[in-house]
Structure 1
Amino acid sequence: MAGAVVAAMAGATMADVLLPLLAGRLIDAVGVLDAARGDAGVAALWALGGMLALGLGAAVCRHLALLAIISLTLETMGAIARESFWRVQRLSTDWHANSFAGSVVRKITRGMWAVDLLNDTILLALLPSVVVLLGSTVLLGFRWPVMGAIVAGSAIVYLALAALGTLLYVAPAARLSNRWDTRIGGVLADVIGANAVVKAFAAEAREDRALAQVLGQWRRRTRRTWRRGTNNGTAQLLVLLALRTVVIAAALWLWWVGQATPGDVAYVLTMYFVIHGYLRDIGHHISNLQRSVNEMEELVAIDAEPLAVADRPDARPLQVRGGAVAFEQVTFRYGGHARPLYEELSLAIAPGERVGLVGHSGSGKTTFVKLVQRLYDVSGGRILIDGQDIAHATQTSLRAQLAIVQQEPVLFHRSLAENIAYARPGASAAQIAQAARLANAHGFIGRLPDGYATLVGERGVKLSGGERQRVAIARAFLADAPILILDEATSSLDSESEELIQEAMQRLMAGRTSIVIAHRLSTVRALDRILVFDRGRVIEEGSHARLLQRQGGAYRRLFDRQAMGMADAAELALPALRNTARTP
């Protein structure tokens, strides 16, 4: 494809190189005396026919080249988007936590369109310019070696100055302005995505001022870039002026010494005007080339990011039958932390066992399930599922065996049916509805005007917290995975529906290995075993009843503190309830 484009554009451009030669022949023909007008007329017609043929050939070649460039560019842009999206999805959890989604999207889309500009610049601008410069230098040099040397030397000097000015003077400023352009995308996405919080605190004016500060920095950086580009363009025009003076003076000298006819002078002048047009634009094309490269730099940086967790070359699909989970001498530290969170942690969860993880924030509960999902690789030891080291399994097969309900469920801006079926894309409408019934979501979905076809908005913003949670639970039901992970899955539910969901969760956990992160200890009473975490260590384990019997135990202190908090809340709410009851 690229070879065909180069050949077609070179053919189209050669017409510009040969056209001045025919124009010179035409001038010589019309300047012939009356005695030879017949032969001169034939020569003039041949020159005119040649010019017409060159024009038609150039039009056809250019049309074919443009069609080929369209296909090539679209294919390349699509490939870049697919590759970037593939890599971004597989970058580490920490990378995503430290990146603005809006900035990442801006980097990818800007990089895609930079390819369009790059292809246009190289194939539609720089390639024809190179063909014109080489062709004209050869033709002029063949007729007048001195003229060819002047054109070649002047073009080289001009191109060198244009390239140096662009790369050393304009490019550094453009790189900074691109960073602030990316920053604008991040700020806009962050604030628009959190619009409900902005409205809740009447912070619209505050966010307007914050954006204005970012725009001010972007404006200053971009103004400097554009001014440098303007200065560079003016310097290039001055160089072209000098080149034009030298070439015209050389043509007049050749005529004066009798080495050029008037038609030759017209040929040289016409050829120069063609060269001048290409050289004048070539500075702009170099600027576009630099701009496209600058705009791709951030995308290239994403491509250079290492995959934090990658499948090993010999990775195999994970085969899960019972769902036993074991940590064997696991050591783990987050990047940049000198002290490990886990140090030679060992524990085992039997197939079908329901285990609760409790403890203060930062004690290691959430990290435990992240390691089970292999969102991070351990620093030492290994994690086994049914005796298989998950580090040797493909990540796709591992996560297909896990059903997860997060504390803050995230939904796609798609229909309710699509969100529930995300765990099993081929699920039928009956299976989706059954999963919704088990999660106590079918009722509220049925009351919606469009039912299961209702779009939930970005991140599920059209639904209440409890409704989003029930949709996520329905998704877990539909996944029907042997290992279940629940991150306080009932925390967003109102008290009326919590009991129904608790019953549904009991059904969901039946026969499955279940790992439940619990913040409210009432959710772990019926579990088989509770693990109490503290600073990455399991300091207590046992059933709810057994742990409560330990006077002064960590679990007992947590439970008493929560029970006392609930009692205080009820006592504070009682007067308000009494006042409400007296209100007529």
Structure 2
Amino acid sequence: MSPVRPRRENAYRGVLAFVFRQWRARLGLVAGLVAAITCATLADVFLPLYAGRLVDALAEADRDAALRAALPAFGAMAALGVAHIGLRHVAWSLVVPLTLGTMADVARAGFHRVQRLSTDWHANSFSGSTVRKISRGMWALDGLNDTLLLALLPSVVVLLGTMVLLGLHWPAMGVVIGLGTLAYVGTAIGLATRVIAPAAQLSNGWDTKLGGTLSDAIGNNAVVKAFGAEGREDARLSGILAKWHKRTRRTWMRVTWSVTGQLGVLLALRTAIVGVALWLWWTKAATPGDVAYVLTTYFVVHGYLGDIGQHINHLQRAVNEMEELVALDAEPYGVADRPGATALAVTGGAIRFAAVTFHYAGHATPLYRDLSVTIPAGQRVGLVGRSGSGKTTFVKLVQRLYDVTGGHVRIDGTDVADVTQASLRENIAIVPQEPVLFHRSLAENIAYARPGASAAAIERAARLANAHDFIARLPKGYGTLVGERGVKLSGGERQRVALARAFLADAPILILDEATSSLDSESEALIQQAMERLMRGRTAIVIAHRLSTVRSLDRILVFDHGRIVEDGTHAALIHRPSGQYRALFEIQAAVGA
């Protein structure tokens, strides 16, 4: 069996199971909608019956008797029409809150899961593609609800009802309609799942890649401009568009041929039904009114059957468009709170690595093997070493952005794996090397560390971070929008906003990722001064690329290939004749670091 077929079947099962879970949350709306649309459709099923009776009544020779016989049929037809309109309106009124509610739930759940997926997952995913998966899946749910509840369900009701009613009068007619319906629906499903689906999966994949490419280039427009690479990015996008065009055209052409094939089956069914109706009339098994009933019924069935082809195509498209969202919903968190995890209570901020082994996925050997080190509460520690030596991984394990492979990371004696991630990170303030800000006001960016902080508290934190003066000079002060990722601010200004955020967090543990690298002298001096204030009374871990920034710290840990090869103060380490710290310090001093 081809590997594509199980994948398609699994996609249908996965998507429909996902949709039914959304419906369970609003079961009352779904039940009311199904009841309303079923009754509205049954009104369509019975309408041809009274149309046939009306024709037979008008065939009476006595006009007065004909009118008397025709009026009840006429009244029934009018009543059925009113019932159909009213019940259909009820059904469509119910689908609005159902669909809006489920779309909101899906978007909320997708955002919730993506926010909590692992650092590795985010590092390997385009943000633009992820946004596209969520938004496209959300809107596909709108079409899928309409297709299943307001389109396919009525079609099934009218087909079953018609087969029963005609079969009770003329079994042969019931058999013809039943077999024709099975042939048509089977053809439509086969074309949708075997012909259209594989092409649609590929075109949707290129659609996602197109969104990611656009987001990647637009989000890094400053780099594009810096290298005059607009033409290169245009060419890159053109290449993606060419493949997207080819795949999408193939999908759309398969849809076109599918519809043509379905119309051919409908033509054969119509010919068979009209032929059987004529035969019934010729054999006097049916009156002219019965023939009118059959033909009117066929026109109703034809409308629903014609729509079934489109509905199945729409269903297939919705399943394809939701497939990536459903896969995202099933994506494991990577790092998740354990059952029964409690909130972390920090009394001092002591950090201990106890025989920690850590292995990055995809790497042949572990980075750490039985690493043990203790950082007492309130100690200021610098982490130095060459790139890839394990400094950044050390602080990521403290934050539990990854789970250790073996051993334990403890804060004040509590294993970080036993507490909730939210409570752990609330106790850790971080100032990254390249702070990224939200496209929100400066006040909102600073207050991100403590939602609901007062304006006075925000300003105090900004003053401590030496950020108040430049903020006060801005036209809107703390209400100034900083642009996407903070692009309206200079590097030094962004760094001081990040420091203000850390001051406002007032966490007992502080992580500084060389917050003064690549800055002008004035900004460096202001930030260094703010950092000194920020580290007081906290357990501070400083990742140092420029060793001049760690000279005043209480302790320095020198990393090399995942091992701590030296541990001591600047004064002690600089006097080791063949020490790695001394060698690194001399190299930086020689180049004027």
**Residues 392-450 of structure 1: CA deviation (Å, up to 9, x unaligned):** 11111111100000001011011000000000001000000011111111111111111
Show the counterpart of 1:267: 293
Show the counterpart of 1:39: 65
Contact 2:499 2:530 (8 Å CA) reproduced: no
**1:39 Cα offset (Å):** 2.2
- 1:9 partnered with 2:37: yes
- 1:557 partnered with 2:583: yes
Show the counterpart of 1:30: 58
Query: Amino acid of the residue matched to residue 21 of structure 1?
Result: L
Report the TM-score, using the length of structure 1 for normalisation.
0.96
- Structure 2: distance between partners of 1:176 and 1:499: 54
Contact 1:360 1:534 (8 Å CA) reproduced: yes
Show the counterpart of 1:257: 283
Show the counterpart of 2:365: 339
- Structure 1: distance between partners of 2:48 and 2:360: 69
Show the counterpart of 1:67: 93
Q: Secondary structure of 1:269's partner?
A: helix
Contact 2:416 2:424 (8 Å CA) reproduced: yes
Alignment of 1:478-489 (within 5 A): 478-489=504-515
Q: Secondary structure of 1:384's partner?
A: strand
**Residues 190-223 of structure 1: CA deviation (Å, up to 9, x unaligned):** 0000011111111111111110100000000011
**Residues 133-156 of structure 1: CA deviation (Å, up to 9, x unaligned):** 011111111111111111111101
Contact 2:380 2:553 (8 Å CA) reproduced: yes
Contact 2:431 2:513 (8 Å CA) reproduced: yes
Alignment of 1:281-430 (within 5 A): 281-430=307-456
Query: Amino acid of the residue matched to residue 375 of structure 1?
Result: L
Query: Amino acid of the residue matched to residue 174 of structure 1?
Result: A
Show the counterpart of 1:115: 141
2:248 to 222, 229, 232: 222
- Structure 1: distance between partners of 2:436 and 2:277: 74
- Structure 1: distance between partners of 2:590 and 2:78: 96
**1:492 Cα offset (Å):** 4.5
**Residues 315-374 of structure 1: CA deviation (Å, up to 9, x unaligned):** 111110100000000000100112000000000000000000000000000000000000
1:464 to 490, 497, 502: 490
Show the counterpart of 1:238: 264
Contact 1:325 1:386 (8 Å CA) reproduced: yes
**Residues 469-497 of structure 1: CA deviation (Å, up to 9, x unaligned):** 11001000000000000000122432113
Contact 1:353 1:528 (8 Å CA) reproduced: yes
Contact 2:492 2:524 (8 Å CA) reproduced: no
**1:44 Cα offset (Å):** 1.7
**1:314 Cα offset (Å):** 2.1
- 1:100 partnered with 2:126: yes
- Structure 1: distance between partners of 2:324 and 2:307: 27
**1:166 Cα offset (Å):** 0.9
Show the counterpart of 2:213: 187
**Residues 53-111 of structure 1: CA deviation (Å, up to 9, x unaligned):** 11111111111101111111111111111111111111110110000000000000011
- Structure 2: distance between partners of 1:498 and 1:336: 38
- Structure 1: distance between partners of 2:519 and 2:558: 24
**1:132 Cα offset (Å):** 0.7
Report the TM-score, using the length of structure 2 for normalisation.
0.94
RMSD over aligned Cα, in angstroms?
0.9
Show the counterpart of 1:198: 224
Contact 1:333 1:340 (8 Å CA) reproduced: yes
- Structure 2: distance between partners of 1:436 and 1:102: 33
Contact 1:333 1:379 (8 Å CA) reproduced: yes
Query: Amino acid of the residue matched to residue 256 of structure 1?
Result: W
2:569 to 543, 549, 555: 543
- Structure 2: distance between partners of 1:274 and 1:413: 55
- Structure 1: distance between partners of 2:131 and 2:530: 39
Query: Amino acid of the residue matched to residue 373 of structure 1?
Result: Q
Q: Secondary structure of 2:592's partner?
A: helix
**1:500 Cα offset (Å):** 2.5
- 1:18 partnered with 2:46: yes
Show the counterpart of 1:145: 171
Show the counterpart of 1:581: none
**1:295 Cα offset (Å):** 0.7
- Structure 1: distance between partners of 2:340 and 2:147: 44
Question: Structure 1 vs Structure 2: percent identity of aligned residues?
Answer: 67
Contact 1:23 1:47 (8 Å CA) reproduced: yes
Query: Amino acid of the residue matched to residue 265 of structure 1?
Result: V
Query: Amino acid of the residue matched to residue 5 of structure 1?
Result: L
Distance 1:51 1:492, change over 3 A: farther
Show the counterpart of 2:477: 451
1:81 to 92, 107, 131: 107
After the TM superposition, list the runs of 4 or more consecutive aligned residues in structure 1 that deviate by more than 6 angstroms: none
Show the counterpart of 1:475: 501
- Structure 2: distance between partners of 1:497 and 1:113: 47
**Residues 536-569 of structure 1: CA deviation (Å, up to 9, x unaligned):** 01111111111111122111111111111117xx
Show the counterpart of 1:212: 238
- Structure 2: distance between partners of 1:5 and 1:301: 29
Q: Secondary structure of 2:591's partner?
A: helix
Q: Secondary structure of 1:478's partner?
A: helix
Stretch moving more, 120-129 or 36-45:
36-45
- Structure 1: distance between partners of 2:453 and 2:348: 24
Contact 2:495 2:527 (8 Å CA) reproduced: no
**1:502 Cα offset (Å):** 1.6
Contact 1:365 1:533 (8 Å CA) reproduced: yes
Matched length: 565
- Structure 1: distance between partners of 2:216 and 2:194: 34
- Structure 2: distance between partners of 1:94 and 1:302: 15
Stretch moving more, 19-28 or 126-135:
19-28
Contact 1:355 1:528 (8 Å CA) reproduced: yes
Show the counterpart of 2:305: 279
**Residues 31-65 of structure 1: CA deviation (Å, up to 9, x unaligned):** 211xx222211222222221111111111111110
- Structure 1: distance between partners of 2:163 and 2:63: 33
Q: Secondary structure of 1:467's partner?
A: helix
Alignment of 1:158-173 (within 5 A): 158-173=184-199
Contact 1:469 1:493 (8 Å CA) reproduced: no
Q: Secondary structure of 1:566's partner?
A: coil
Contact 2:357 2:405 (8 Å CA) reproduced: yes
**1:305 Cα offset (Å):** 1.4
Alignment of 1:506-545 (within 5 A): 506-545=532-571
Query: Amino acid of the residue matched to residue 38 of structure 2?
Result: A
Structure 2: stretches of 5+ with no match in the other structure: 1-28
Contact 1:469 1:492 (8 Å CA) reproduced: no
